[in-house]
């Protein structure tokens, strides 16, 4: 029996991937790795075995890997996540796991990016996996369309979009569709030692998003792209925490430079259909 371990099982992508895995295979083939047993209670109810472990705790990872043949390593969120990812890869190798799937990022040159501090670890992890000798699949995920509201703010329909993203094009895709494709990779053959870019087949600027929101809401939603200094000052004056401002402004600058504008047919081919447009998502939210 081929048992699949899913890390980050209680996070957004982990939960969505597990839902799709349960459509493709039986619950006894799936093991969920979680830090908090209470958060994983719903998975247990579905018959999924839950193992408690932490990327920082190598002994817990060693235990979690027992009897596992495939690992889905969903990238961590900490700044020092490369070390955490190394711990998972090392534990997998030690336990004679055959195959690892890693959720990376689809972006242009990370070395010149305003968010290199956050994103370089993805490519370090990719290299480490390739050097490990494990059979792998690398899933380079585009930005989740689900995160758009975070960049728009709560009162976007009243105030418009205020973000220094310029005319940058972004290939936003739905997290649930990326999860569906991930489950497909884990339960079908011929993905060994391949790298897929899970992006939409269309790109969107924030001007496009403003136009879509105007159509959906019947209100005139404008888009204004300020200088980044002005944006930082506005958010600082509004009492937004500095760490949050750094991430928002960093991503906006990266988007302005088309760093998330790569387009691929990989997601559509794995899904067997064209990925959803962001208009469908924005309709459900607004």
**Model confidence pLDDT, tens digit, residues 130-144:** 999 999 999 999 999
pTM for the full predicted model: 0.94
Backbone angles phi, psi at 235, to 5 degrees: -70, -35
pLDDT of residue 1: 55
Structural domains for the chain: 4-140+174-198+263-271 (3.40.50.720)
Q: Which helix (H) or strand (E) element contains residue 271?
A: helix 266-271
pLDDT digits (tens, 9 = 90+) for 12-69: 999 999 999 999 999 999 999 999 888 888 999 999 999 999 999 999 999 999 999 9
119-154 as b/e, with b when 16 or more CB fall inside 10 Å? bebbbbbbebbeeeebebbbbbbbbbbbebeebbbe
Which are the contacts of 11, defined by CB distance < 8 A and separation ≥ 6? 74
Please list the rounded mean pLDDT of every run of 10 residues in the chain (286 residues). 90 96 96 91 92 95 96 92 97 97 95 92 98 97 94 93 97 96 96 98 96 96 97 95 92 96 97 94 87
> Within its chain, how far is the Cα of 164 from the centroid?
22
């Amino acid at each position: 029996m081929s048992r699949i371990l899913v890390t980050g099982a209680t996070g957004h992508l982990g939960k969505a991937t597990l839902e799709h895995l349960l459509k493709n295979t039986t619950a006894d083939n799936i093991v969920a790795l979680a830090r908090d047993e209470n958060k994983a209670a719903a998975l247990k109810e579905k018959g999924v075995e839950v193992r408690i472990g932490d990327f920082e705790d190598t002994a817990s990872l060693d235990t979690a890997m027992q009897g596992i043949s495939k690992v889905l390593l969903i990238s961590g969120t900490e700044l020092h996540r490369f070390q955490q990812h190394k711990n998972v890869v090392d534990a997998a190798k030690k336990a004679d796991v055959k195959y690892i799937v890693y959720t990376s990022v689809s972006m242009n040159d990370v070395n010149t990016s305003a968010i290199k501090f956050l994103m370089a670890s993805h490519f370090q992890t990719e290299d480490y996996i390739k050097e490990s000798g494990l059979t792998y699949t690398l899933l380079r995920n585009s930005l989740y369309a689900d995160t758009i509201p975070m960049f728009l703010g709560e009162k976007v329909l009243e105030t418009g979009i205020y973000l220094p993203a310029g005319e940058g094009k972004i290939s936003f895709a739905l997290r649930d569709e990326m999860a569906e494709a991930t489950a497909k990779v884990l339960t079908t053959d011929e993905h060994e030692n391949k790298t897929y870019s899970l992006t939409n087949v269309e790109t969107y600027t924030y001007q496009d998003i403003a136009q879509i929101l105007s159509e959906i809401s019947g209100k005139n939603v404008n888009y204004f792209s300020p200088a980044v200094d002005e944006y930082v000052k506005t958010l600082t004056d509004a009492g937004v925490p500095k760490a949050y401002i750094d991430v928002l402004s960093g991503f906006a600058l990266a988007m302005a430079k088309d760093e998330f504008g790569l387009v691929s047919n990989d997601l559509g081919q794995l899904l067997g259909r064209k990925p959803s447009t962001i208009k469908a998502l924005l309709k459900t939210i607004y």
